[in-house]
Amino acid sequence: MTRPGRLCPGDRVALVAPASGFRRDALERGADELRQLGLEPVYSPAILERTRFEAGRPSVRMQVLREAWCDPAVRALVAVRGGYGSQQLLPLLEPAWVQHDPKLFIGYSDMTALQAWLLAQGVASLHGPMLDGRLSDGEVRYHRESFWSLVTDDRPAGPQEPEGVEVLIPGDARGLAVGGTLTQVVSLLGTPWGMPVPRGAVLWLEDVNERPYRMHRMLTQLAQSGALARASAVVFGECPGCDEPGGSHQWRDVAGEFFQGFHGPVLFGYPFGHAAGAQWSVPFGVHVRVSGTAPHVVFDEALVI
């Protein structure tokens, strides 16, 4: 895997909108948070374009990505919001954009499609805070320490131990961290841009507001694709809103039953992605150790160089 360069104070970061539109105030407040961290956020006026579901036509959103990835003055790309639309861009992306000058790409949710594409190009990325709803709301919505250390420190992050992580299936494993939002991972199956899950990978999965039977259905599809057989471990997020209304089925219990007999450790409740509170950042494309005993998660490689 190719690791992007680390961020330094004063570095220019491009704000991009590959998916849905967003509130202008969230853009400005998120940009202010990046400035407080010492970065210089910039964006094209094109990200303010709107269509029915997305932040502009696919050609416009693709052009914004191309300009950001090809601009030597830009050191990272930060998505403003998820929602829907990133998958539309996959046929339009060109590997040369990221292979010549790998830059750090930061996002989650619908950005899973772009992070799968980056993994296929051999480039690591950060499953971390976007502006709308995370950076725009400050430290109550994103874990500043895990974010900042991962994007600025060229040493391995080591143990990452947020509170509330549970062991559903014990065991020990080490592999390449891949994954993202389950809905997006499954939506890529059967396309040329499916999420790469190499043998031995540690699969990180999370989602929000999906009923347990829908989550079970998506895991069944992932299992039938062969991805779960290749994974050495699975780490679930908190998955807020994924319990059955009325409490008849708890997603944690359904997940535990689904993975009975799995050949590696399965953790639940890591606050990444659609976390209920402060979101922890997770690097994709680096090696991580997962264990049923503390420390549960140890990153053995740095995200940046």
**Would you name the residues annotated as active-site residues?**
109, 206, 274
Q: Contact at 8 Å (CB) between 176 and 286?
A: yes
Burial 247-274 (b: 16+ CB within 10 A, else e): eebebbebbbebbeebebbbbbbbbbbb
Residue whose entry in the numeric block shows the structure tokens 């150790």? 289
Mention every residue, 6+ apart, whose C-beta is less than 8 A from residue 187: 87, 113
Sign (positive or negative) of CA dihedral 138, 144, 150, 152: positive
Residues in the chain: 305
Assign 3-state DSSP to the chain and report helix, strand, coil percentages, each to 5.
35, 25, 45
Q: Can you tell me the distance from the alpha carbon of 251 to that of 231, in angstroms, rounded to the nearest whole number?
A: 21
Q: Contact at 8 Å (CB) between 85 and 62?
A: no
Q: Can you tell me the distance from the alpha carbon of 179 to that of 127, in angstroms, rounded to the nearest whole number?
A: 9
